[in-house]
Structure 1
């Protein structure tokens, strides 16, 4: 009659077998270059790097567009303006969207899950988004007026006519090439800008920063970064401070909404609506100029 092996012997062999299997798998991954790991939460370091990369790309593209504006269009002044910024944002958004989606995939999270789309409640969240559109834009406009009034005082109305004129767009004129590029860029802007910015600043970025800095400081850092990004989209140097304050306020309130609701989708709807309403007139005018 065969003797049964002691339980501790079987446990040691099982543990040893698992270790061997793990080592073989590590060797296989090393040889194939597959170093994919599964994370359960957004990583603080990667979140910081993601936001830094976003801002860095915006700075680089803005610099290139500024050189183009000076050398080709013959226009001085920084930043290049909203028209050129929209064109430059397309490649920036594509790269950043790829990066943030890749980070979520490390966690086994799809874009739909990251955004927080709820089956059967999409209409409800769209309704929330319409509400947040109004809630977000009221303090946004108030911030613009307060900063403008603080700088220009009683001349605030005439200042609006000067600092928000996009000289690059005026210089581009009715050139068919400029119009076509503008149309493609604006459509691309509407299609992915809101999604990219929400995932970067208030999705992975905010969640990762929270793990290192705590909720309050993470909200402030994310919102200030959001405001800093937008100074490079200002139509003139004088408008940069206005953009910074207004978009930082927008970011702060958006972060609070996201934290309150626990999902991005309603704020994403509001953000996408802002982008659409801002870009639609430009696309319409450009198409009209192109076909007439």
Structure 2
């Protein structure tokens, strides 16, 4: 894994302790997602379930903010996003397909375990929610998977995991980042505490799988590609099919 963060107590030009900086970046998406979701719930007269069905809408600007923050921090320390991602190679596409398979197994298994722990089986399903508009389905298929894949890999397996590795070691860093990765997904199930817990457990396990793969590759590109495909098939396509129903 390419190390792009300084091992000294501060990064050049930032003037902040590196551990606090890394933790701040890891918390950024969670704070922004909770803030956006909370604002939407407070300002909309629609039922909470319908409001949260539009979470895909505000995920994209949160992703763009996250990417810009990481880019700015790297730039202030004399580095670039390319230093963080590593060089793209054609074989990264094939490795991305492997990431898709492993990530799907991990997230499906984690989701099953989370539901089993919290609900004792399959989670309750609200069949009363109206189908979202088709434009949201297209948004969720064509745009959202790209921004999520880039933002989450830059923030978690890139800036976060690579930064913590220089301080606490590879495996502890991977586990800490997986916790942050899982916790951020609670903001996407704000209508139910049980759903929040189940989602955190499932995505924490998925975060472990992605963190281990990040330690095996010398570039983030396989993770970005695999993550993008995973969200296209697991999030975007189901949303589009729902909107067309």
TM over 0.5, yes or no?
yes
Partner of 1:51: 26
Tell which structure's C-alpha radius of gyration is larger: 1
The structural deviation recorded for 1:247 is: 0.6
Matched, 1:101 2:101: no
Q: Name 1:12's counterpart in structure 2.
A: none
Detail structure 1 runs of 4+ shifted over 4 Å in the superposition. Answer: 36-39
In the other structure, the counterpart of 1:254 is 210
Question: Given the alignment, which residue of 279, 282, 289 partners 2:236?
Answer: 279
Q: 2:224 aligns with which of 265, 268, 274?
A: 268
Q: 1:59 to 1:152 in 2, by over 3 A?
A: closer
Deviation at 1:223, TM superposition (A): 0.6
**Residue 180 of structure 1 corresponds to which residue in structure 2?**
135
Partner of residue 59, structure 2: 89
1:222 pairs with 2:174: no
Q: CA RMSD in A?
A: 2.9
> Structure 1 residue 185: deviation in Å?
5.6
TM-score where L is the length of structure 1: 0.69
Partner Cα distance (1:208, 1:135) in 2: 24
Task: Considering fraction of residues, name the structure with more helix.
Answer: 1
Q: Which runs of 5+ in 2 are unaligned?
A: 1-10
Taking a change above 3 Å as real, the CA distance of residues 61 and 274 of structure 1, as seen in their structure-2 partners, is: same
2:198 is matched with 242
Aligned-partner Cα distance in 2 for 1:215–1:106? 25
Q: Which residue of 1 aligns with 2:6?
A: none
Q: Specify which structure has the bigger relative contact order, considering alpha-carbon pairs within 8 angstroms and separated by 6 or more residues.
A: 2
Query: Deviation per CA, 1:144-191, whole angstroms, max 9, x where unpaired?
Result: 2223233444xx3xx44x24x486xx24x46xxx54355446533122
Report the secondary structure of 1:54's partner residue: helix
| CA deviation after TM superposition for structure 1 residue 198, in Å | 0.4
Equivalent residue number for residue 136 of structure 1: 103
User: Aligned residue pairs: how many?
Assistant: 231
Contact 1:101 1:111 in 2 (8 A): yes
| 2:158 corresponds to 1:203 | yes
* Contact 1:80-1:235 at 8 Å conserved across structures: no
